[in-house]
Amino acid sequence: MDSGKPLVGGIPMVNIDGAKIRRIREEKSLTQLYVATVVGVTTDTISRWENRRYPSIKKENAVKLAESLEVQLADIIDHNQPAPVEGPTLAQTFSPPRQDDHDSQSDPATESVDRHVAPAFKETVQIIASPSSPLSWLHLVSRPFVIFFAAILLALAGLILFWWYTAANEGKHQVEVFRTLPEHATPGIPFPVVIEVTTSSSMPFSLILKETLPPDCLPAQGKPQFISQATNPPVLKWIGKIIGGHAMYSYLARLKPETKIETFHQFTGGITLRSENNPGIPIGGGEILNASFFHWADSNSDGRIDDAELLSVNEIYGGIEGLNFGKKLIEDIWSAKGYRWNPEMRNYEILP
C-alpha cells in the first residue's frame, strides 16, 4: 500500500505488485524497453520489479511506471503488503550505496565507468597489500605517502569519469523536432505527415515519439510503423534511436468523410528522452489542418498543381520508401489543366 509518508531523508516509498505490472504491460503489448525508457531506468530494473525482487520503490518512479502503463497509481500498488519501513537502519544510514540499487537512476555512462574503474582500484590495493606481491614493501612506507598515493589514484579515476560522462552527454540538450503538415486536406482523402528529429550531438540516443491526432482524424500507414492507441483522439507512438544526428517518422492520415468543410483540426505531440534535463520536447512546425475541397498538394488552393508544388512534394515525401501518398494522382493533375472535387463520387476529376 502507499504509505503517503516520506521516509527519513524525505523520499516516499510504495509497495508495487510485480505480477500485476507484468500482466498489464503484456495486455497492452508494451515492451520492457518502452516502459524502462518512459520511467528512466534500465530494462533489468523493470524485470526486477516484475519478479518482485524489489517490491518497494520510490513513489516518484511508481507514478512514472503507472503513466507508462496508462493506468492509475492505485492499479499497480500491492495493497496486501504493509507500508514500507519508515526509515533506514543505522547500518544502512552509514553504509555506502550498493551498485545494484534497484531504484537508481544514475547515468549509464557513470555506471559504465564505475564498473571498470572501481574493480581496478580495488584490485590494485589488494595486490599492494599481498605479502607475496613485489609491491609489498609499500606497507613500510609512511602513512602520509600512502594517503598521497591513494589520492592520486582517486584523482585519475575522477578524470576518467569526467571525460566519459562528458563524451556520453555531448549535445544532449540540442534536440529539435519539426512536423511538416499540409495546410489543408479533403475529408476521406489520405494526406502525409512527416516528423523530423535532429541533433548536433554525435552520440546515439533513444527516444519515444508521441503524436496526438485530432478527434476527426484517422491514422492509415506509418514509416516506420507506429503503435496506435484506439483512443479518442487517436495517439500514435514510436520507439526509436537517433544515429548520425537525424531521424524521420512519417505517416498517412485522413479526415473522416463526414468532416465539415472549413473546419480546423489541431495536431500535438512531443518526444521523450532518457534525460532528467530533457524530460519532454514538443513538436514544432505545422499543427493546424483545414478541411477543404482542394487537394493537399495544391498548397495555394488554385485548382491546379504547378511545377513548384510538384517539386515541393517530391522533395519532402518522394524519398520516403513505401509511403503511398498518391504520387500518380498528383502527377496526373500536374500534367493536366487542373482538377475539381466531385462530392457525389467523392474523388477528384482531372480537367483535360
Give tens-digit pLDDT for 47-62: 899 998 888 899 999 9
Domains belonging to the chain, first-starting first, are 2-94 (1.10.260.40), 108-168 (no CATH), 175-351 (2.60.40.3670)
Mean pLDDT within 271-282: 74
The whole-number pLDDT of residue 187 equals 97
- Distance of CA 37 to CAs 104, 114, 282, Å? 14, 22, 17
**152-156, 173-177, 185-189: range with lowest mean pLDDT:** 173-177
Nearest to 264 by CA among 301, 231, 291: 291
Band of residue 11 on the pLDDT scale cut at 50, 70, 90: confident
Q: How far apart are CA 112 and CA 323, in angstroms?
A: 40
Mean pLDDT within 123-151: 59
- Reading the block at residue 70, the C-alpha cell is 496508462
SS3 334: helix
Mean pLDDT within 144-161: 82
Q: What is the pairing mode between strands 347-351 and 281-282?
A: unpaired
Residue 90 has pLDDT above 60, yes or no: no
The whole-number pLDDT of residue 123 equals 53
Q: How far apart are CA 249 and CA 219, in angstroms?
A: 14
Mean pLDDT within 272-300: 87
Mean pLDDT within 246-268: 96
